[in-house]
């Protein structure tokens, strides 16, 4: 059993990650590298250093962060703090001494008991609304042994469980360690074409499609497919019509679309991430309706 898991966020009072009021736990680490990732800070399995230059005022600070940095990744140049991410080893010493929170280490190790304590305090809200706890990420199934123990503890306490997954996992381990302890699965289906999947996520979609079909055949709980609508990538007529044909062929009916949200772009500079895809606008109602028409028409 993994004694601890690396968690980068716990969000309470959510309503988008399952029925009722929920607490969503975000696990770090993801096997995919989607060019539009909504939580880029969750891709790396280890710590991630956030640097918000707008909160840093070196002229009004003794700059303890520079003294704390053992790799000399932090320097002062042109009266501005500079972070050399190639030198940075993500140790977090600088964040620990930054009183303005311009530097923050994202993520923390939590044991099963520690995480359970943090989410179980919301049980009265779960009970009153039919809610529960949802594991998300990143890709939460990368820490499957920990999840197994965590979900067992939640179920013993009468708390409903759900996961959000990209489908890139070992099915045998999933069926043995997680499926018996789950009440709901949200399964993201992004791209139907294998070459497009490799181009935009870094991996073939064949394991994902296989896992989806195996789940829909054997799972006795709802498996709800969600299609993220990413302009010019997943939200194309060709991709959506292809997904629709695949779902109809396999009689998969629990499907929803997730309209694009560009707010992730604000995180790129904070985490020193450089990507080519930078669509900055929300989708219009007309664009969303067209995507839904594609999913319903094929």
Contact 166, 212 (CB under 8 A): no
Domains detected in the chain: 4-45+108-297 (3.20.20.70), 50-106 (3.30.70.20)
Q: What is the residue-wise DSSP string for 160-213?
A: EEEEEE-S-S-HHHHHHHTGGG-SEEEEE---SSHHHHHHHHSS-SHHHHHHHH
pTM of the model: 0.93
Q: Is the pLDDT of residue 1 over 50?
A: no
Q: pLDDT by residue (tens digit) across 78-114?
A: 889 999 999 999 999 999 999 999 999 999 999 999 9
Over residues 33-62, mean pLDDT: 91
Q: pLDDT by residue (tens digit) across 200-257?
A: 999 999 999 999 999 999 999 999 999 999 999 999 999 999 999 999 999 999 999 9
Q: What is the residue-wise DSSP string for 267-296?
A: HHHHTT---S----SPPPHHHHHHHHHHHH
């Amino acid at each position: 059993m993994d004694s601890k898991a690396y968690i980068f966020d716990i969000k309470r009072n959510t309503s988008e990650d399952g029925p009722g009021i929920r607490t969503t736990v975000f696990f770090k680490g993801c096997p995919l590298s989607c060019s539009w990732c909504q939580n880029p800070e969750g891709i790396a399995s280890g710590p991630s250093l956030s640097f918000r230059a707008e909160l840093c005022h070196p002229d009004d600070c003794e700059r303890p962060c520079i003294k704390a940095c053992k790799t000399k990744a932090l320097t002062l140049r042109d009266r501005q703090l500079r972070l050399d991410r190639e030198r940075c080893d993500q140790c977090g010493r600088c964040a620990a001494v930054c009183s303005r929170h311009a530097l923050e280490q994202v993520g923390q190790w939590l044991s099963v008991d520690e995480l359970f304590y943090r989410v179980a305090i919301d049980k009265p809200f779960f009970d009153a609304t039919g809610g529960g706890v949802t594991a998300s990420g990143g890709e939460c199934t990368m820490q499957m042994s920990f999840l197994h123990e965590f979900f067992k503890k939640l179920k013993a306490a009468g708390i409903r469980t759900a996961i959000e997954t990209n489908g890139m996992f070992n099915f045998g381990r999933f069926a043995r360690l997680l499926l018996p302890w789950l009440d709901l699965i949200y399964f993201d289906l992004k791209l139907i074409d294998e070459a497009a999947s490799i181009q935009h996520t870094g991996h073939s979609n064949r394991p994902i499609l296989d896992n989806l079909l195996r789940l829909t055949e054997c799972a006795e709980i709802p498996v709800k497919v969600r299609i993220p609508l990413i302009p010019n990538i997943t939200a194309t007529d060709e991709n959506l019509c292809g997904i629709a044909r695949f779902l109809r062929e396999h009689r998969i009916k629990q499907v929803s679309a997730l309209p694009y949200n560009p707010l992730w772009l604000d995180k790129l500079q904070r985490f020193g991430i450089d990507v080519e895809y930078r669509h900055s606008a929300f989708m219009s109602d007309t664009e969303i309706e067209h995507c839904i028409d594609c999913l319903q028409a094929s």
